[in-house]
Amino acid sequence: MFDSGFGGLTVARALIDLLPDEDLVYIGDTGRYPYGPKPASEVREYAHELAWSLVDEFGVKAVVVACNTATAAGLDDLRAELPVPVIDVIEPGANALVRATETGRVGVIGTVGTISSGAYIDAVARTGAPVHLSSAACPGFVEFVERGVTVGDEVLVLAERLLAPISEAGIDALLLGCTHYPFLARTISDVMGPQVTLVSSADETAFAAWALLAELGLLRAKGSGPGRHRFLSSGDIEWFRILGGRLLGPELDHTEPWP
């Protein structure tokens, strides 16, 4: 699996918990984050490099694109070109969002790249659920998480400003459409209020991966684990180990460079 940085660790945590027997290779492209403000063509190229590295250098049997921005920019290309199944975060997230609402008024927040791509409008439409979707981009959230700042006044002030339009939309469920955002859930929840259910795509994506691997007969036999977990970063590997360990847990105690 890969992400622009630490965000995909929310999905990694869910995958490790759900599929403890499976080996996992995680690449955080911290040397080139953030993806959100970059042109889709550039993000597509990064996604291509990362996914092929997982296939060619690590021999993975499936790729999880644990990044909404990379999914929005390059999922179709990855599915067409890779010789292994590809699991994304947008479709599972959209499915979870429409299940979580009672009023039918829902929201999604994500990076500028994700929101401007319209990928969530399409994904929610594909569910067929009769919902009204509001969306907002939250530039700056990812940078806070990458610096290890997940609570505090600075985050709160930014969240209040960026979430104001979506707060006024009268929604009852909000999808965290960027894998970094669950790390800011406390602040986001403080701003949105208790009447809004926050939906993260991490668990849904892990279930989607499980379902797909089972359907294709690719799951490791029960008890053949425990799976081995490798974490790579294209940036500062020491920082990736320190912050990553804090965010993911004890499985992340060693980091390797992804050149």
Binding site residues, ligand DGL, CB under 6 A: 3-5, 7, 33-36, 67-69, 111, 114, 142, 178-180
Element (H, E) at 18: helix 9-18
Pick between residue 68 and residue 95 the one whose CB is nearest to ligand DGL: 68
- CB 177 to ligand DGL: min, Å: 7
- Among 103, 157, 156, which Cα is nearest to 134's? 103
Is 138 known to be catalytic?
A: no
Question: The tokens 């002030």 sit on which residue?
Answer: 157
Pick between residue 101 and residue 205 the one whose CB is nearest to ligand DGL: 205
- CB 217 to ligand DGL: min, Å: 29
Name the percent of the chain in helix, strand, coil, to the closest 5: 50, 15, 35
| Secondary structure class of 199 (helix, strand, coil) | strand
AA letter at 199: V
Token code pair at residue 95: 């499915």
- CB 45 to ligand DGL: min, Å: 14
- CB 231 to ligand DGL: min, Å: 15
Torsion 140-145-148-150 (CA) sign: positive
For the residues of 139-172, what is the DSSP string, one character each? TTHHHHHHTT--SSHHHHHHHHHHHHHHHTTT-S
Spatial distance between the Cα atoms of 209 and 204, rounded to a whole number of angstroms: 9
- CB 4 to ligand DGL: min, Å: 3
Pick between residue 4 and residue 101 the one whose CB is nearest to ligand DGL: 4
Pick between residue 68 and residue 135 the one whose CB is nearest to ligand DGL: 68
Spatial distance between the Cα atoms of 43 and 242, rounded to a whole number of angstroms: 26
Spatial distance between the Cα atoms of 52 and 54, rounded to a whole number of angstroms: 5
Pick between residue 186 and residue 220 the one whose CB is nearest to ligand DGL: 186
Could you say which of 67, 171, 174, 188 is catalytic? Answer: 67
Could you say which of 106, 178, 208, 243 is catalytic? Answer: 178
Is 178 known to be catalytic?
A: yes
- Catalytic machinery residues: 67, 178
